[in-house]
Amino acid sequence: MKKIALILGITGQDGSYLAEFLIKKKYQVHGIKRRTSTPNTSRIDHIFDSVNFNNKNLTMHHGDLSDVGSLNRIINEINPDEIYNLAAQSHVKISFQIPEYTSDVNALGPLRLLEIIRHYKKKKIKFYQASSSEMFGKSKPPKMKTLYLNQDLFMQYLKFLLITLLSTIEKLIIYMLVMVYYSIMSRLVEVLILLQKKLSRD
């Protein structure tokens, strides 16, 4: 019996390559795309019937990471063995122009999928979440046996998410506690790095 895979972000570069790969592995592949007035399936047109919106190995569905109803409906309809989330609002400049939507899709979108999987009773579903190297900024690649923490970018990202999503006094208190915890952990990492350098010299 064929395994069933669901790909979000299938119309993107990596999503189209993944669809090709899984079809070659004899998977039944399903993809989710947002409803648009103009077609945006150019990367998968060679493996996808855009007129009938499916073929025997690839079926497309309309849905959105911001709409838990469509996600729940599609997952229950196709009963997937594996879910690959490659979808995101990934344009850096645009993310600052529409921060609430970016946070909703990139942060809460995966959470919606995980909650559906957590409560899914028919079978255990394997989940893959793709993330961008852009979250690490211009930092140098970590060296072997060296502790690594991109503190400035992580701090900015954390503030961005929390300030966008938090509104009540209670949550602001949690935010302050997280900042204190992060400050302590950052200092601890710095001490460990200094200790590691000292030991390597000795």
Query: What is the C-alpha separation between 8 and 84, in angstroms, rounded?
Result: 6
Inform me whether the pLDDT recorded for 147 exceeds 50.
Answer: no
90-133: pLDDT as tens digits = 777 787 888 888 888 888 999 999 999 999 999 999 999 987 65
Domain residue spans in the chain? 1-131, 133-202
| Residues linked to residue 30 through DSSP beta bridges, in sequence order | 6, 59
pTM: 0.64
Query: What is the C-alpha separation between 162 and 186, in angstroms, rounded?
Result: 19
b/e per residue 34-43 (b: at least 16 CB within 10 A): eeeeeeebeb
In this prediction, residue 150 carries a pLDDT of 52
> Which backbone phi and psi does 128 adopt, to 5 degrees?
-125, 125
Instruction: Please tell me the total number of residues recorded for the chain in this structure.
Output: 202
Around Cβ 174, how many Cβ atoms within 10 Å? 12
Tokens of 2: 């064929």
Query: What is the C-alpha separation between 76 and 123, in angstroms, rounded?
Result: 11
Using DSSP's 3-state secondary structure scheme, residue 141 falls into coil
For 1-131, the fitting CATH number among 3.40.47.10, 3.40.50.880, 3.40.50.720, 3.40.630.30 is 3.40.50.720
pLDDT band at 49 (very low <50, low <70, confident <90, very high): low
